[in-house]
Structure 1
Amino acid sequence: MNWRSEHIWIELIMESRKISNFCWAFILFLGSLGFLLVGTSSYLGRNLISFFPSQEIIFFPQGIVMSFYGIAGLFISSYLWCTISWNVGSGYDRFDRKKGIVCIFRWGFPGKNRRIF
């Protein structure tokens, strides 16, 4: 959404709440959860996922690697979900022709310097 008058033009930026970011965060969460479940089921020796037999994957080294990828994916997925919920990168650009000033504002990560000018 943009707003324009004779002297001022404001362009709103929606950076982190794009549909593609929601899709990537959701796909990454499901994939990493699957990797973690397969690694855990290979460690326990029973099927936690009914459509994939855990007897075919031995815990060392395949199960450990799959568990590591699952945990790493969950961390990255949680980072993406936090970025989406905090709306990092969004803001506005304001162009003032009368004063000759350009103001660029973005939201950052929570903390002391969350507002970025």
Structure 2
Amino acid sequence: MNSNLIRRYVVVGSRRTSNYIWAIICAIGGIDFLLTGLSSYFNLNLLPIIHADNIIFFPQGLVMCFYGLLGLIFSCYLGLTILWSVGGGFNIFDKQNGIVRIFRWGFPGKNRRIDLTYPIDEVTAIRLELKDGLNPRRTIYLCVKGQRQIPLTRVGQPMTLEEIEVLAAELAQFLQKDLI
């Protein structure tokens, strides 16, 4: 919702397409490795494309079982973070009520809901951090009194340079705060 008095930005979090793809790839790979390791243990071809008689259980089959279990555990972890929408939420900038609200979902537990609300008067600036290289970081921070800096942008998928500059400039102009 973008109006003259209220701006709302949705943050995707862990429900990104890449996480779905990686969860599926890890599950398929984990199942394949586990079945290959079990095929070598039972001397039975559980997968028609793998010939278990060529694989000795100790150490190759055992290692394949281990990697298969790790792949399945990792895909379950990714699946649960997707299900729980970890990191997902929204940012609301409301001039009408004079508040800034930042909401994110975390892991289950007593601190699952991360809900921060600040008066717009406590916001000192909007800070833009740009770091290029092997691990680029492009983040917009909300600077509030007391030297706190709260990240507003999503993690894991950096926005293009143009997108993040435009978003930071729009936000600073909307809140009538400095862009640093």
Instruction: Give TM-score scaled by structure 2 length.
Output: 0.61
Match of 1:115 in 2: 113
Match of 2:44 in 1: 46
The structure richer in helix per residue is: 1
Amino acid at match of 1:56: N
Q: How big is the shift at 1:96?
A: 2.8
- Report how many aligned residue pairs link the two structures: 115
Percent identical: 52
SS at 1:112 equivalent: coil
Matching residue within 11, 22, 25 for 1:27: 25
1:1-117 correspondence runs (5 A): 3-97=1-95, 101-117=99-115
The structure richer in strand per residue is: 2
Q: How big is the shift at 1:94?
A: 1.2
Q: Larger RCO: Structure 1 or Structure 2 (Cα < 8 Å, ≥ 6 residues apart)? A: 1
CA distance in 2, matches of 1:86, 1:43: 37
Deviations 1:48-107 (Å, cap 9, x if unpaired)? 111110011100111111000000111111011111111111000112345654321100
CA distance in 1, matches of 2:19, 2:91: 22
Runs of 4+ with >3 A deviation: 97-101
Instruction: Give TM-score scaled by structure 1 length.
Output: 0.91
Amino acid at match of 1:67: C
Could you tell me which runs of 5 or more consecutive residues in structure 2 were left unpaired when the two chains were aligned: 116-180
